[in-house]
Structure 1
């Protein structure tokens, strides 16, 4: 190997020094005086001598590789690349490992290779070529360009190319460049052929690759040349063929990038995007097949899977992975439906930052808080809905916590789509999308006081009304039905409305003289959390009012549900049955209780200006237990652990959540319940 020349100085003069093995038996370095003491001038002369010497050494030490050998290598390399690329693409399609992201990268690699052939080997992609790509594709293309550039210029790649081309080791620098360029063009041609020709037609792919190279040579003849010319491919056997004039053929049009597939059963909406069409699309996505189980055979192993790029199908698959109840899943789908409604985007790969910005702005300022409540509203487009709300003066703009829930749902959707390969490098910027909440958490929901509740329970619903049809008119009729008992139990237990409204007749029990209701999942309704399963002691006032007798009468009627009238209409058939479908938590369970209670609040509290509601009972009980103190004024009467057990909240810490019995002792909880003052 010839060493690199360098400049040396002796006695103020500069010399050109270079060791050339093979030219001298002593291997002494060649040293030539440059006849100057100026370092700058000596450097210029040194560069010129180096270039001249390299040319001389190439002419004298190396034998130029014949053009026929380069052409033969190109043809062999082209065949090798076509076979390799075709095999890889075929396996990807057959074994299910072809994802949308991999397809996109394959297409971009083809474009990058063509750019390297037409623009020359360079680390950075030509700006004019880069501008033709989408913003997301530009980042990936730059990465691919840099990776391929380093590969092509690496010593390992060049050694492999020379090893495949010839057994000779005395190739000139120009010969190495010719071979490397032939390898690069062969790879580019193979990739473009794989994109343009069906993978099962190997011969057609090779012909397409050869035609592509001829078109490149046609461009070279017109003055658009790559850095190093490549001869026309010829057969390696026999005498060198005559140089043929390249056949004039039109340059092939780069194949259009295939759009990602859709979820089975889902079709994109065309024309008007209304609530009806979007909800129908999501319902179609719900019916998509889930993953099949492994059949036990090695050849059936699925390495990768291609998922639909549509937002509806992606959202449904996201909800399958959520550790929550059905209500939480439905909330996510509602947020996704609203996002599609206000932006019009239906594919994950088309979501951009400006869509998120527009979505946040509309739900903050212009979207009515109540939408799609009526059937006719679901047939309107988003613009028609906003215009209609503005014209009627309806309240518009969601609360900050609601906006945050919607934005977080879309962010979760994008994250899930990235795991499926349908989102590239786009990372949503959520900064500034959610407005700051001006209220403290304790101010977001009004907490009724003891005076508020005593005023409420002095209303005719509990103290006597005119008749069943005139519950808000004072009278002597006290109807101890579901309206009477459920609201009273909520105020004395702090339980959730669905927990009390969904009680079974068998959920009333007694232990050690302490009556209690057992809140647990059943065939009519589930519970919000695992910690919601618990036993809640009953307040003495509830027993005095005859709740045990009420339960006994329900048992004699062979009822299963304690309050069948409170069940949603589609579940009232379960009041006499113990069998049902999937157990789900439904926060709207017992919605039929809303109007009578809301009307009672309004009539008893002068219009209910603080907006007290059913959930306020739970806040009242918690507030009472938190603020109740011993005589010293600092020690809590009810411990935090007992309070959380009573309300069905998860205690803090592994010790309290794991190292305890499932059923908590009733004594401390009963003592906590008895601290609640009588309401009338």
Structure 2
């Protein structure tokens, strides 16, 4: 509004100078001695003089805003806010996004706005007002008020208010007081709109019911009692529902159409207590549904339209039958359905709404005992009874892990996405992850990463350093048995590959080029790969070669075998593993499960209780973390560039250039130089 004052120095003394553009005819340029030679003191006095002059100029040059204009602006703001809020709230009701937590947030926002208006703009809610809320809602209310306060005090909010209030005139002719009045009117309008929207119903449910009753009476033509719509003028006995002649007659089928949803043959909905026993009875009925018969070749038997039950268990069973997964995995998916029905009461896939997913996830995290349904008594209790205070034994052991909750949510997502294939549309417009309880872990905290010291400690165990015998691998002794347990775990720690990638290697996958020995990780008849970009060549670490891995592979070749680690192949396919075929198996995240028990024993012996939460996959994270953090002598230069690290780990390229405009077989030399930087396992070198 005014030019910025500045200081000048004459003979060691600072002078305050200011010129007001446009007012030079009535005001002369100001020049005052500050009476000091200290620049900091002069600047402080300059700021004070500027503020005093601004107030004098405001009083002399600005015209006060009429009260009627402020009132008109408030009414316009109120209409605008009400229209926006009503549209948003109605949309939430119609698309199913109005969850219980969101409804609470709406009420708290209205409460915080009232606090800001009645108690004045302040960052924190007054204690006496805060105490009126339930304790569980107070932190959210404080955050809400703080966010709204920052919004109101922001320059952008003030600029938008002035633009709406005086789009043509702007704020040039307004005093600071009038600008604050307009901002306050906007805040009051927002508060009033939120307060009103929580008190006045947005739906027309009562009108809809009255219209339905009137319409039904017109159809029947008698003002009767069909579907429970009573006519107050006549008793029900005088109003029989029957077929009649005439233009206003009711046209009804001769036999009543059964009401209710379509269900899988043999399945019936639970109408009483929802317990493990009643839910499992429904599950068993869904298991017994017949398979869809194959077409027998007769044209008369072709089925154009096929209907399926809407029940959750029937849908889940049919989905599992179409998936190539283990029976144990199928059982886990059906357990998800059992828990969902148990905690929400929803038995039909078409009845699932976003707030049910939210309710389910919160129940698993906060209310469900970890050892649920272990006793016959538990299996005859409802969810409310199971979580009640009568179950004191579970008081300190409640809530499933985040991984378990995510797994159950993923299964529900699969069922919801499968339902449209059977003609069932699910009213669902949200991502499942958005409805789960917030995870307080950062991405790098969700998987534990080995430190170098902890890795070295694991590989000092007798499995690698020497055991008593083959049957006593965890008792120290002179025997070093270099079998699949020895090699696979060592390769994981020195290459960063995935377990299935190493466990499924064939003898034809260990190759040499330009003097560099490498493992060619590619799909084969035993296992596929997680993603196609995981196909890669990984140079063998020098320590692996020093320990005799190439000799081990040559011994397998001499025996006429194709699979390097036949003992790591799942038992159900081990007999056929040596038969090389053109069929590529899908990615199997359970490939190599036979390695788990031995690994866990070594891990627990090295780190009792495993407080860091390490897993076998933590070795892959350890190698990746090591390569990222390797630096030169200056502590800044990265020794392994990101492209080579991603090539080595089988990570997805970050852009089209890196993923498309390169050869499929990456140069081995830079990858070999990178893999050599992974620290050697010291305990293994003792037996060289």
With over 3 angstroms needed to count, the CA separation of the structure-2 counterparts of 1:576 and 1:400, relative to structure 1, is: closer
Partner of 2:528: 526
Task: Tell me what 2:209 maps to.
Answer: 130
Q: Give the direction of change, closer, same or farther, for the CA distance of 1:250–1:544 in structure 2 (3 Å limit).
A: closer
For the Cα contact (< 8 Å) 2:361–2:437, is it kept in 1?
A: no
Q: Which one of 646, 656, 666 corresponds to residue 654 of structure 1?
A: 656
Partner residue, 2:509: 507
Q: Aligned-pair distance for 1:263? A: 4.6
Which whole-Å CA distance do the structure 2 matches of 1:326 and 1:631 have between them?
54
Aligned to 2:555: 553
Q: Which residue of 2 aligns with 1:359?
A: 360
Closer/same/farther in 2, CA of residues 336 and 580 from structure 1, 3 Å limit = farther
In structure 2, relative to structure 1, the CA distance for the partners of 1:368 and 1:479 (3 Å cut) is farther
Q: CA deviation at 1:348?
A: 1.9
The number of equivalent residue pairs is 461
Name the residue aligned to 1:454: 456
- Higher mean alpha-carbon deviation, 537-546 vs 456-465, is at 456-465
When residues 408 and 548 of structure 1 are mapped into structure 2, their CA distance, relative to the original with a 3 A threshold, is closer
Asked whether the 8 Å contact 1:519–1:535 carries over to 2, the reply is yes
Partner of 1:347: 348
2:565 aligned residue (545, 552, 563): 563
Gaps of 5+ in 2: 1-202, 225-230, 237-243, 683-688
- Structure with higher Rg: it is 1
Secondary structure at 1:660's aligned position in 2? coil
Q: Which runs of 5+ in 1 are unaligned?
A: 1-123, 132-137, 149-183, 190-208, 213-218, 225-230, 235-245
- Paired with 1:273 and 1:379, the residues of 2 have a C-alpha distance of 5
Distance (Å, rounded) in 2 between the aligned partners of 1:286 and 1:646 = 49
Match of 1:644 in 2: 646
Give, in whole Å, the separation in 1 of the partners of 2:312 and 2:591. 29
Residue of structure 2 equivalent to 1:444: 446
Greater mean deviation of Cα atoms: 464-473 or 617-626: 464-473
Partner of 1:115: none
CA contact 1:490–1:617 (8 Å) conserved in 2? yes
1:49-128 pair list within 5 angstroms: 127=206
- What residue is the counterpart of 1:468 in the other structure? 470
Superposed CA offset, 1:36-85 (max 9, x none): xxxxxxxxxxxxxxxxxxxxxxxxxxxxxxxxxxxxxxxxxxxxxxxxxx
Q: Which deviates the most, 599-608 or 559-568?
A: 599-608
Identify if the C-alpha distance between structure 1 residues 609 and 571 changes in structure 2 by more than 3 Å, giving closer, same or farther: same
Q: Matched residues in 1 for 2:358 and 2:592: separation?
A: 37
Q: Does 1:338 align with 2:339?
A: yes
Q: Which residue of 1 aligns with 2:668?
A: 666
Alignment of 1:136-215 (within 5 A): none
SS of the counterpart of 2:475? strand
SS at 2:468's partner residue? strand
Distance (whole Å) between structure 2 residues aligned to residue 585 and residue 637 of structure 1: 33
- Cα distance in 2 for partners of 1:641, 1:331 equals 39
1:411·1:428 contact (CA, 8 Å) conserved in 2?
no
- Find the aligned partners of 1:389 and 1:495 in 2 and give their Cα distance: 46
Counterpart of 1:261 in structure 2 is 262
C-alpha distance in 1, partners of 2:234/2:578? Answer: 89
Deviation at 1:576, TM superposition (A): 3.4
Q: Take 1:324 and 1:659, find their aligned partners in 2: how far apart are those partners? A: 36
- Partners of 2:554 and 2:387 in 1: how far apart? 54
Q: Shift in Å at residue 125 of structure 1? A: 9.5
Question: Does the aligned pair in 2 maintain the 1:505–1:551 contact within 8 Å?
Answer: yes
Give the counterpart of 1:615 among 605, 617, 634: 617
* TM-score, structure 2 as length reference: 0.55
**1: CA distance, partners of 2:269 / 2:517:** 58
CA contact (8 A) 2:362 2:437 kept: no
Deviations 1:178-232 (A, max 9, x none): xxxxxx97xx58xxxxxxxxxxxxxxxxxxx99x9xxxxxx9x9899xxxxxx98
Offset at residue 615 of structure 1 (A): 1.0
Contact 2:505 2:565 in 1 (8 A): yes
Report the CA distance shift for 1:581/1:333 in structure 2 as closer, same or farther (over 3 A).
farther
Q: Distance in 2 between matches of 1:423 and 1:446?
A: 40
How far apart are 1:548 and its partner, in Å?
0.9
The equivalent of 1:598 in structure 2 is: 600
In structure 2, the residue matched to 1:399 is 401
CA–CA distance in 2 between the matches of 1:606 and 1:594? Answer: 17
CA distance in structure 2 between the partners assigned to 1:281 and 1:545 by the alignment: 57
Distance (whole Å) between structure 2 residues aligned to residue 487 and residue 661 of structure 1: 30
Report SS of the residue matched to 2:474. Answer: strand
Q: Report what 2:309 is aligned to.
A: 308
Q: For 2:575, what is the secondary structure of its paired residue?
A: helix
Structure 1 match to 2:542: 540
Shift in alpha-carbon separation, 1:309–1:677, aligned structure 2, 3 A: same
Q: Measure the CA separation in 2 of the matches of 1:674 and 1:377.
A: 59
CA distance in 2, matches of 1:586, 1:385: 36
CA distance in 1, matches of 2:378, 2:501: 32
**Partners of 1:567 and 1:589 within 8 A in 2:** yes
Distance 2:419 2:499 in 1: 36
- Which stretch shows the higher mean deviation, 432-441 or 348-357? 348-357
Which has the larger displacement, 600-609 or 256-265? 256-265
